[in-house]
Amino acid sequence: MSNVAYSAQTVISLKDMVEKTVTSNPEVQSRYHRFLESGFEQDMVRGGFLPKADIVSTYRKQEELIKPGDGTAIPRFNNELVLRQMIFDGFATSSEVKRLGHANRVRYYELQSAMQNTTLEFIRAYIDTLRYRELSQFAKDNYVVHKQLFDRIQERVNAGVARKVDLEQASGRLALAEANLLTETTNLHDVTARLQRLYGELPPETLEAPTFFNAGVEPTSADALKVAYNQNPDLLSTIEDIQASKDEIKTREARYLPKLDLQARKNLGVSNDGRFSSSAADLLELTMNFNLFNGFSDQNAVKMTAEKLNNSLDLRDKACVDTRQLVVIAYNDIQQLKEQEKYRTNHKNSIENAREAYRKQFDIGQRTLLDLLDTENEYFQAKRSLSNTQFDIQTAYARTYAGQGELLNRIGAARGGLPEYKRESYLDSENVCQALAPVQITVDKAALLAEAKPLSSTLTTLKAVEPVKVEAKPLANKVVPDVQFETNSAKIKPVSYPVLDAAIVTLKEWGEASVEIAGHTDQRDTSKADYNQALSEKRAKAVLDYIVKKGVDVKRFTAKGYGYTQPIAENDPKEGNAVNRRVELIRQQK
């Protein structure tokens, strides 16, 4: 579809999309039909209160032991209208109707739960779609800038005014930008498929920005819990199930009571052989049935149902615990993420200002293109972190509202055709959930700073971190070029050639001064002194050979190895320390 077609498309509101989802989603539809089924089941049992009328026609042929002739035999043909009415059944029917009424409400709250959960899943996918559309645009912009800067560095290298190592670094960062772009577009594809599964079709190109969270939440997590315990559909369904189990026990106990039935029969015509028989007479009878012994089946049925009640009570307690966890965590996430948003906004603004400053400094020759790449990548990450935090806040609000059973109301959406049930008193009396929430953790930053050691006293205990050296820098009478060797070898890696070339420039600036080339290694638990001494000497000699090949007088230099006897930073027992693996060029004082 073209962009023109998209621009002409009518924006579908979030409310309309949610209503379509909760009306057509298969999982919600399944719960809806189970709710309707339970209502019809109650109506079916309620029919037990009403009379039953049947026309009974009988054809009989049996052996004739006595020759009838006076019309008093059992008739071969008989037609009757039979009317039956239950007078008393130990309250079994009334108890079962009440049980099914509660079961119907259980299905109703299960439907409400499915609608809340499906809406939450939809909102997550909706927010994530907005998220990854924005992050994809960030990644596109980041890629374009990296490609443009890479092209400029490549032009400078080809012109001989920049080093190839700079191009290698720029190439690596460009590859990272391309990977970031691929990651975000893949995430956008996947979340679009999620939204399509829930919504039933592909989402529109333009999505409305959510506003359902503008009303905020309760002032404390305990207050938020009280709302959840009052209307969370999962919790309410367990309470209705408790009532249903109580009524089922009454249904089972009805078997201990007598049963009275009234029956009336109106004869509609018989064959001649039985026209004067008792079968041809009209009948009205009252029947009582009292169960004296049923093999303990009725007693065990009551016990079985009592255990169902205990199970319902356990499920209610579990719903309390689950609801508390969901709401408390989501509520806490809102508070923490909102505070994070402040810091991430400050971080993003600071990086943006530094980025602009670096660009201006580059224009006057104070920054390199690699410096610009550094700031671009950090700016991309800062924008990405801030965007994720902002969308996470919206999701945390949705999770809180869903736990409270309020998400659909907050969005303003509803599913039509559902009844409004009066809130019964047992929903409160059977609710034993306590609105007790963990205290939100806050960090006393002032106390942390007050307890901290002064920075000057901690610097000596910090491990040295390997510096990133791009070129040799004169340090008074010493140069420490970042020379890299093959592992356990004195072979210089080609990436170090430009670094040594830059060091040779400094050596020439020192005139005829004598220079010591000092090789050093780091130390580990497995290090051997003789081996490291020899390796440091070979590496110093390898640097000397490289310098001499570049035309510098060999008589000025002496190459020495010191092994690991002169570390400049603490060695790790297993990893050593790359800072200590070095070659120093030391100008000798006369």
Q: What is the DSSP string of 445-505?
A: HHHHHHHSPPHHHHGGGSPPPPP--SS--EETTEE-----B-TTS-PBPGGGHHHHHHHHH
At residue 409 the predicted structure's pLDDT band, cuts being 50, 70 and 90, is very high
In this structure, are residues 139 and 380 in contact, taking their beta carbons and an 8 Å threshold? yes
The Cα 330–Cα 336 span in angstroms is 10
Give CA separation, 326 vs 114, 253, 394, 485, in Å: 16, 40, 16, 55
In this structure, are residues 372 and 359 in contact, taking their beta carbons and an 8 Å threshold? yes
- Higher pLDDT: 249 or 4? It is 249
The Cα 154–Cα 152 span in angstroms is 5
Give per-residue pLDDT as tens, 140-152.
Answer: 999 999 999 899 8
Paired sense of beta strands 515-520 and 557-561, if any: parallel
At residue 303 the predicted structure's pLDDT band, cuts being 50, 70 and 90, is very high
Q: Which residues are paired to 317 by β-bridges?
A: none
- Higher pLDDT: 246 or 588? It is 246
Q: What percent of the chain has pLDDT over 70?
A: 92
At residue 161 the predicted structure's pLDDT band, cuts being 50, 70 and 90, is low
* Mean local confidence (pLDDT), 333-360: 93
Count each helix (H run) and each strand (E run) in the chain, helices first. 15, 9
If you search the block for the tokens 């009303």, which residue do you land on?
A: 215
Q: Where are the alpha helices (DSSP H) in 202-296?
A: 221-231, 233-253
- Residue 110: the pLDDT is 96
* Mean local confidence (pLDDT), 185-197: 95
> Which among 125, 98, 80, 122 has a CA at the least distance from the CA of 42?
98
Query: Which residues lie below 8 Å from residue 345, measured CB to CB, with a gap of 6+?
Result: 386
In this structure, are residues 348 and 428 in contact, taking their beta carbons and an 8 Å threshold? no
CA gyration radius, the chain: 43
Residue 41 has pLDDT above 70, yes or no: yes
At residue 569 the predicted structure's pLDDT band, cuts being 50, 70 and 90, is confident
In this structure, are residues 205 and 6 in contact, taking their beta carbons and an 8 Å threshold? yes
Please, what is the end-to-end C-alpha distance for the chain in angstroms?
Answer: 80
Q: For residue 496, what are its two tokens?
A: 């170090």
Name the residue type at position 390. Q
Q: For residue 321, what are its two tokens?
A: 């615990």
The Cα 227–Cα 223 span in angstroms is 7
- Residue 1: the pLDDT is 37
Residue 282 has pLDDT above 60, yes or no: yes
The Cα 501–Cα 332 span in angstroms is 58
CATH number assigned to the domain covering 474-587? 3.30.1330.60
Residue 68 has pLDDT above 70, yes or no: no
- Residue 3: the pLDDT is 41
3-state secondary structure of 368: coil
- Residue 15: the pLDDT is 96
* Mean local confidence (pLDDT), 548-561: 90
Residue 405 has pLDDT above 90, yes or no: yes
In the chain, CATH 3.30.1330.60 covers 474-587
* Mean local confidence (pLDDT), 217-225: 93
Give per-residue pLDDT as tens, 97-136.
Answer: 999 999 999 999 999 999 999 999 999 999 999 999 999 9
Residue 39 has pLDDT above 90, yes or no: yes
- Residue 66: the pLDDT is 67
> Which among 396, 383, 392 has a CA at the least distance from the CA of 128?
392
In this structure, are residues 533 and 563 in contact, taking their beta carbons and an 8 Å threshold? yes
Q: For residue 460, what are its two tokens?
A: 């000596």
The Cα 371–Cα 374 span in angstroms is 5
The Cα 516–Cα 538 span in angstroms is 14
